[in-house]
């Protein structure tokens, strides 16, 4: 059935009749709504919606439905996306030396938990630095970087993203800060995992900062990358309890578990078109 199922996400200025218009369009086109969620941001007056629908036997063609939606979107001034569920997103994974998030994402992909295609794996270190992850059969690219070669290396990343038709870039503990230029090009389709509960402990060595401050919980944050470091729209966060006994090394160890599950959830939400941008924030239509 997946091949007849699509996901529509939209946002527009709120006004009466949006739900009626969308649901009537789909009904009259011979579609059945499988899931729908909506949100009115009363502060900004903006309306957000995600609809999953499938085409029944008597449905109009995929192209006809897409055309009707485009017309409707024009009428309501909607930003929208429409994607067949069967058309999996293509994802480029960037990593440095710590490979626990990379290994986790690859494992979840191998067992079918993450509906994506891996377009490329890129590291600023050679593949034998990533010793604990099974990269067998995956397109690995070693793109080393120095302060001098940063712009050039980013240009190659960007070129590779285009060549591989990458839809999403995931910084899976990639320890380089993207330039403003590349951040802008990847706006809304580049997810980073930061190893702290933002906005606490921005910047470098957050676990050491947390240890220094004596907090009782540590966390991780998955967010879209923007040129404003560690300030991008947050997609998912989680925490775990620690105690005075935990050394910075213990925090790093406990943090790995939080990082990988927070990043995996954020990536899954993005792959399923559950995350809509709302200014500097996100709307996340979870289950």
Is there binding between residue 129 and its own copies (CB under 8 A)? Answer: no
Q: Is the dihedral of CA 110, 113, 115, 118 positive or negative?
A: negative
CA distance 204 to 206: 6
Q: Mask of contacts with its own copies, 151-190, x by CB under 8 A?
A: ----------------------------------------
Q: Interaction with its own copies in 11-30: which residues (CB under 8 A)?
A: 16-17, 19-20, 23-24, 26-28, 30
Q: In terms of CB distance, is 111 or 204 closer to its own copies?
A: 111
Q: Which stretch binds its own copies (CB under 8 A): 4-12, 77-85, 169-177, 250-258?
A: 250-258
In whole angstroms, what separates CA 89 from the centre of its chain? 11
H helix runs in the chain, sequence order: 18-28, 62-76, 100-110, 150-163, 180-185, 206-213, 248-271
Does residue 167 have an active-site annotation?
no
For residue 200, which of 184, 223, 186, 219 has the smallest C-alpha distance?
219
Q: Interaction with its own copies in 200-229: which residues (CB under 8 A)?
A: 200-201, 213-217, 219
Helices 206-213, 248-271: crossing angle, 10 deg rounding? 130
Instruction: Please list, in sequence order, all residues whose beta carbon lies within 8 angstroms of the beta carbon of residue 72, skipping any fewer than 6 positions away.
Output: 21, 22, 25, 78
Is there binding between residue 2 and its own copies (CB under 8 A)? Answer: no
Among 104, 167, 230, 273, which one carries the catalytic annotation? 230
Q: In terms of CB distance, is 174 or 201 closer to its own copies?
A: 201
In whole angstroms, what separates CA 110 from the centre of its chain? 18
Binding site for its own copies (CB under 8 A): 16-17, 19-20, 23-24, 26-28, 30-42, 56, 100, 103, 107, 110-111, 113, 131-132, 134, 136, 197-201, 213-217, 219, 233-239, 243-247, 250, 253, 256-257, 261, 278, 280-284, 286-287
């Amino acid at each position: 059935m997946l091949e007849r199922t699509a996901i529509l996400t939209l946002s527009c200025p709120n006004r009466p009749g949006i739900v009626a218009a969308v649901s009537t369009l789909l009904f009259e086109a011979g579609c059945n709504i499988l899931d729908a969620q909506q949100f009115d941001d009363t502060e900004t007056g903006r309306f957000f919606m995600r609809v999953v629908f499938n085409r029944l036997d008597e449905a109009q063609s995929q192209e006809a439905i897409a055309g009707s939606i485009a017309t409707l979107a024009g009428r309501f001034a909607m930003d929208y996306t429409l994607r067949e569920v069967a058309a999996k997103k293509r994802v480029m994974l960037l990593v440095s030396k710590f490979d626990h998030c990379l290994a986790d994402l690859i494992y979840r992909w191998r067992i079918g938990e993450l509906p994506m295609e891996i377009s490329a794996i890129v590291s600023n270190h050679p593949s034998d630095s990533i010793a604990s992850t099974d990269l067998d059969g995956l397109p690995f690219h070693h793109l080393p970087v120095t302060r001098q070669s940063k712009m050039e290396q980013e240009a190659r990343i960007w070129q590779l993203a285009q060549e591989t038709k990458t839809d999403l870039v995931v910084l899976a503990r990639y320890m380089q800060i993207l330039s403003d230029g590349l951040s802008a090009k990847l706006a809304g389709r580049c997810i980073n995992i930061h190893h702290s509960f933002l906005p606490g402990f921005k910047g470098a060595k957050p676990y050491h900062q947390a240890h220094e401050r004596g907090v009782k919980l540590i966390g991780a944050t998955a967010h879209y990358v923007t040129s404003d470091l560690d300030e991008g729209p947050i997609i998912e966060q989680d925490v775990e309890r620690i105690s005075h006994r935990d050394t910075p090394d213990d925090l790093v160890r406990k943090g790995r578990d939080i990082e990988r599950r927070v990043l995996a959830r954020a990536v899954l939400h993005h792959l399923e078109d559950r995350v809509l941008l709302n200014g500097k924030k996100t709307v996340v239509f979870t289950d």
